[in-house]
Amino acid sequence: MEHKFAAQLYTVREELAKGIRPVFQELKEMGWAGVQISALPADHDPQEISAILKETGLGTAGMHISLDRLENDLENVLKEADLYDTKDIVCPYLPQEYWNQEGYTKVKENLNAIARKAPDYRISYHNHAFELETEINGVSALEFLLEPSEDNLILAEVDVYWVKKGGRDPLSFIQPYANRMPIIHLKDMTNDEKELFAEVGTGQIDFVPILQWGEKSGVEWYAVEQDVCPGNPMDSLKISLENLMKLKERV
């Protein structure tokens, strides 16, 4: 299972600004099988990123691409996906103007249209907690976006922390998305009333049944993202990976 463990680069965004190659090299040496492309410096060269991926042997657990780029720069996005050897393109966030029934309906239509334009790629949506606050057709906006039906081409990239933060049980929530979630986001939640981001295996989320479900349900990458770390983000990623290696023995 360790060949499916990937570090989400948003975790190390400040380190990337100082130098991409040393970050990728350290992640590979740490034992990560891949990275999820995100938060690269604005002036990065996709060709260079591709070369560093090949040099380090890191796989690509998809890429996070803004809704704006998906709508207005799809041709270049697909070229980057090819360079990084991935078919997974994930919309990671929505501007607040879309946080209403009309907005979510438009986003669902647009992401489906993008998926139809790029049938050789997989378009997914990554959640936070705010999508659970709006109801559409009797379900949360997140469930509306990720509706597991043949005519909905939007795949899931469920973030288990944000599902729990939104008041839902992560294991129950992911059940409908078997074979519709190539990548899942793992992050833990502190065991106190603050419910802050925590290293995997140190908080209150039970990851063993989530990993068991993933292995039966078509998950190809387990991407670890920690939005805010208490110290050096590399130290946090190291703890998460060490704990994942222990947890996989119970799967």
Residue-level pLDDT at 10: 98
Task: Provide mean pLDDT across the span 198-208.
Answer: 98
Print the SS3 string covering the chain.
CHHHEEEEHHHHHHHHCCCHHHHHHHHHHHCCCEEEECCCCCCCCHHHHHHHHHHHCCEEEEEECCHHHHHHCHHHHHHHHHHCCCCEEEECCCCHHHCCHHHHHHHHHHHHHHHHHCCCCEEEEECCCHHHCCEECCEEHHHHHCCCCCCCCCEEECEHHHHHHCCCCHHHHHHHHCCCCCEEEECEECCCCCCCEECCCCCCCCHHHHHHHHHHCCCCEEEECCCCCCCCHHHHHHHHHHHHHHHHHHC
Q: What is the Cα–Cα distance from 43 to 48, expressed in whole angstroms? A: 11
Q: What is the Cα–Cα distance from 132 to 40, expressed in whole angstroms? A: 28
Residue-level pLDDT at 173: 98
Q: What is the Cα–Cα distance from 224 to 222, expressed in whole angstroms? A: 6
Q: What is the pTM of this model?
A: 0.97
DSSP state at residue 250: G
Grade residue 248 by pLDDT with cuts at 50, 70 and 90.
very high
Grade residue 70 by pLDDT with cuts at 50, 70 and 90.
very high
CB 100 within 8 A of CB 134: yes
CB 174 within 8 A of CB 210: yes
Residue-level pLDDT at 100: 98
Residue-level pLDDT at 48: 97
Which CATH number fits the domain 2-250, given the four candidates 3.40.50.2300, 3.90.1010.10, 3.20.20.150, 3.40.50.2000? 3.20.20.150
Paired residues of 123 in beta bridges: 89
